[in-house]
Amino acid sequence: MPVYKCTTASKDGQINERIIRTGSPASLKKIVGRKGEFLINVEAEANRFSFLKIFKKQKLKAKDFYSFNKEFLTLIRAGLPAVSAFDEIIKNQRNSYFVNILKNIRQNISDGESLSEAFEKYESLFSPLYIATLQSGEAAGCIPDTIEEFLEYFDKLRMIRQKMIAASVYPLILTACSVFVMVFLLVFVVPVITESFVEANARLPIATTILLRFSDFIRFYYPGIIIVSILLFFILYFLSNTEHGRLFLHTCYLKLPFAGDLLIIYYTTLFSSSLSTVLNGGTPLNQAIKISSGVIGNSFMIDKIQNAVREIEQGKGFARAFGKINIFPAMAIRMFAAGEEGGSLGKILKDVSDFYGKEVENRLSIITSTIEPVLMILMGLIIGSIIVAMYMPIFQLAETIA
């Protein structure tokens, strides 16, 4: 996290020097502005061991973040001040990296900063949604309630993401094992069994000839295959780290058969749930939409949502603006319209999230129950075809002898 040495001026002309740790110069300006001060000079201080941090970038684990909020919620509901609650949590925290962050946040709070201001200095670790939740809790004077609502949202999304990961891991493992068996047969088994027929210049069946050519190609050109695979990996990695490349890849993901529809439903769940959480906290609609779009992680959908925000700023309704960008399911748009007309958009968004969350679970259940037999049949046909093609010369020889 960058550290800045700042010279600031207050409205009464007093000059102050501060050391502020935050994610970017933009967030630095916001932090100073909230204090009612003006930036005069900023100097970025060099972080020690920056070379090592290139290779070991620390991240905040989801379980540490969740357990911290659970403990913090319990302690402040018991009547402890925020600083005392941090002291108790720091005593029991085992993650040294997180302990240092909590100590800095605790110090900032004791210096007079609000909870949201202290957390915003670490915006690269804590999501804008979480910081907005704290801000809305401070504005309404009900921080425990907003944290509890955020934890419900966080727990729900974590469960959905775990199911998505679990549904994709098994097919990948099964496919990898099948590919390994297929390559092993082509590289080590096929040449040994068919070698005697090739040396005898026997007339081989077409299927066996094709199999041998494919086996020879893999055995003799495997360095090139490996190099091309690595190049493709780096090309995709490079594309995913550029704005246009990421937009192209994310657009392609949404057009995949079956998987594209599942992703759209999954993103609808994420967006609706996060927007409901932020709106119920009192955040203005436009700002809430911008914050909630960050949880999606798909550049194409985020761009479309930004277009909807511009439509809303021009005076169009929420449901009409989102219907125009045509990325969410039609039923979700109709539910948005009903909630907007009834003045209960936050509640309807939660209903949309619950409905499509169950739809994601149902589709994942279908995938996990059908993908295994489909992959087993597919890989069985491929491997069976290789074995049959290997033994066809033997069958042909037996026919000739008979």
Quickly list DSSP for 270-291.
HHHHHHHHHHHTT--HHHHHHH
CA 169 to chain CA mean position, Å:
15
> Where is pLDDT greater, at 14 or 82?
82
pLDDT surpassing 60 at residue 208: yes
Q: Check if the beta carbon of residue 211 is closer than 8 Å to that of residue 399.
A: no
DSSP 8-state secondary structure symbol assigned to residue 61: -
Radius of gyration of the chain (CA): 29
CA–CA separation, 8 and 341 (whole Å): 47
CA–CA separation, 384 and 365 (whole Å): 29
CA–CA separation, 65 and 59 (whole Å): 11
Q: Mean pLDDT throughout 245-260?
A: 86
Q: Check if the beta carbon of residue 81 is closer than 8 Å to that of residue 110.
A: no
Q: Which of 245, 195, 184, 194 is nearest to 219 (CA)?
A: 184
CA 92 to chain CA mean position, Å:
29
| Partners of 25 in the β-ladder | none
- The model's pLDDT over 129-182, given as tens digits with 9 standing for 90+, comes to 888 888 888 877 788 888 888 888 888 888 888 877 877 787 788 888 888 888
pLDDT surpassing 70 at residue 402: no
For 398, the token pair is: 């037996």
CA–CA separation, 305 and 52 (whole Å): 38
Q: In which band, very low, low, confident or very high, does the pLDDT at 48 lie, cut at 50, 70 and 90?
A: very low
In the chain, pLDDT over 90 holds for what percent of residues? 4
pLDDT at 227: 93
pLDDT at 188: 84
Q: Which of 260, 267, 321 is nearest to 295 (CA)?
A: 267
pLDDT at 41: 67
- The model's pLDDT over 289-335, given as tens digits with 9 standing for 90+, comes to 888 887 887 889 988 998 898 888 888 889 899 988 888 999 999 99
